Structure 1
Amino acid sequence: MSKKALIIIDIQNDYFPGGKFTLENSEQAGTKAAQVLDHFRKIAQPIIHIQHISVQEGAFFFLPETEGAEIHNCVKPQENEAVILKNYPNSFRKTSLDAELKKLGVDKLVITGMMSNMCVDATTRAASDMGYKCTVVHDACCGASLEFDGVKAGSTEVHAGFMASLGMFYAQMVSAKELIG
């Protein structure tokens, strides 16, 4: 029998206004992620929070033991919800995430989080490659503005590009409203 789990990636204080790496649309994405979290709590499905702790030299946000690294109040974990710490964009790399999902008998993932263009992307691709069936709640995620080779892309465009890319092969894309239905 198939079982699904909610994965909430890096919805942490530093991404919100006043944080060290504020993302445009973080409050809106956080609100949608909170709605999805509430839905999973009501249907009693597994919930796993992913918390990034930056340990790489030169890191300036998500620093260990700072308020910015704490999970944001909009998706604050309850005592019975797993919190997995990570140090890389891919939530599976050098963490217990895969073992935890296997222990729970999970083969389907519903993914929310930040940033669309980094940790959500890396985790979704890895999960799909590992055989998990992925659904990304696109409006419960947000990205950062980027620039490459003189071309600037705003956060909305970056987010759309990454969601479109993931949706081509790695995941089904749904809105929070569609998921909760």
Structure 2
Amino acid sequence: MTRVLLIIDIQQDYFPGGRHPLVEPVAAAEAAARLLAGWRERGAPVVHVQHVWDAPDAAFVQPGTPGVEIHPLVAPQAGEPLVVKAQPNAFLGTDLQAQLRAIGERSPDEPVELVVAGMMSSMCIDATVRAAADQGYTVTVAHDACAAPDLAFGGTKVPGAQVHAAFMAALGDGYASLAGADEILLARTAV
């Protein structure tokens, strides 16, 4: 099996001082960085995704702003593909599917499995994981390498930790396997 690490939208605006800070983004980015280091150490495929909200009324991740930049903990290196997207689903209107097919062609007898980390659990992680599963990919979400914002509904504030837990629970109920970053890394070394 070819396991591709898909790092989605770990961008500066989601950190303290950014335009849309999430709950515990540093801890999530550090977990994603451990995964990235493990993938790089083995020469395994990594695909980075960056959200660019190119609209006059964009609240965050606007082009030309510091907040759109990928966080240094997980910044792409030369040779690692970067998919730029404008929608929550990283497959929609991008070449992500083509990138994954090209990776799969390197080992045509092995299925491609996605290991997903990133931001936001409640938006781009959710949309991309569901789309990947619908397209037949086996997906594992590194739950501790994802983060969510505080949200509100019907006058009730929903803390980010609860938002994250609810979305992870939903994804784990049919769309993906869930595991911590260190657990994923240990499983990779045991194979």
- TM-score of Structure 1 vs Structure 2, range by shorter chain: over 0.9
Misfit runs of 4+, over 4 Å? none
Query: Partner letter of residue 95 of structure 2?
Result: S
Report the Cα distance in structure 1 between the residues aligned to 2:11 and 2:171, rounded to whole angstroms: 23
Does 2:93 align with 1:94? yes
Could you say which residue in structure 2 is the equivalent of 1:119? Answer: 124
Report the Cα distance in structure 1 between the residues aligned to 2:185 and 2:2, rounded to whole angstroms: 16
Query: Partner letter of residue 153 of structure 1?
Result: V
Does 2:27 align with 1:37? no
Could you say which residue in structure 1 is the equivalent of 2:50? Answer: 51
143, 148, 155: which one aligns with 1:143: 148
Does 2:67 align with 1:68? yes
Could you say which residue in structure 2 is the equivalent of 1:77? Answer: 76
Does 2:134 align with 1:132? no
Does 2:179 align with 1:174? yes
Instruction: Give TM-score, length-normalised by structure 2.
Output: 0.92
Partner SS for 2:139: strand
Could you say which residue in structure 1 is the equivalent of 2:159? Answer: 154
Deviation at 1:71, TM superposition (A): 0.4
Deviation at 1:57, TM superposition (A): 4.5
- 105-114 vs 57-66, greater mean Cα deviation: 57-66
Query: Partner letter of residue 124 of structure 1?
Result: V
Unaligned runs of 5+ in 2: 105-110, 187-191
Report the Cα distance in structure 1 between the residues aligned to 2:115 and 2:55, rounded to whole angstroms: 28
Deviation at 1:151, TM superposition (A): 2.1
Report the Cα distance in structure 2 between the residues aligned to 1:45 and 1:112, rounded to whole angstroms: 15
CA RMSD of aligned residues (A): 0.9
Deviation at 1:43, TM superposition (A): 1.4
Q: Deviations over 1:28-80 (max 9, x none)?
A: 00000000000110111110110000024421210012111010001011001
What percentage of residue pairs aligned between the two structures are identical?
Answer: 46
Could you say which residue in structure 2 is the equivalent of 1:163? Answer: 168
Query: Partner letter of residue 135 of structure 1?
Result: T
- 146-155 vs 129-138, greater mean Cα deviation: 146-155
Deviation at 1:108, TM superposition (A): 0.6
Instruction: Give TM-score, length-normalised by structure 1.
Output: 0.97
Partner SS for 2:19: coil
Report the Cα distance in structure 2 between the residues aligned to 1:130 and 1:152, rounded to whole angstroms: 34
Deviation at 1:149, TM superposition (A): 1.1
Could you say which residue in structure 1 is the equivalent of 2:108? Answer: none
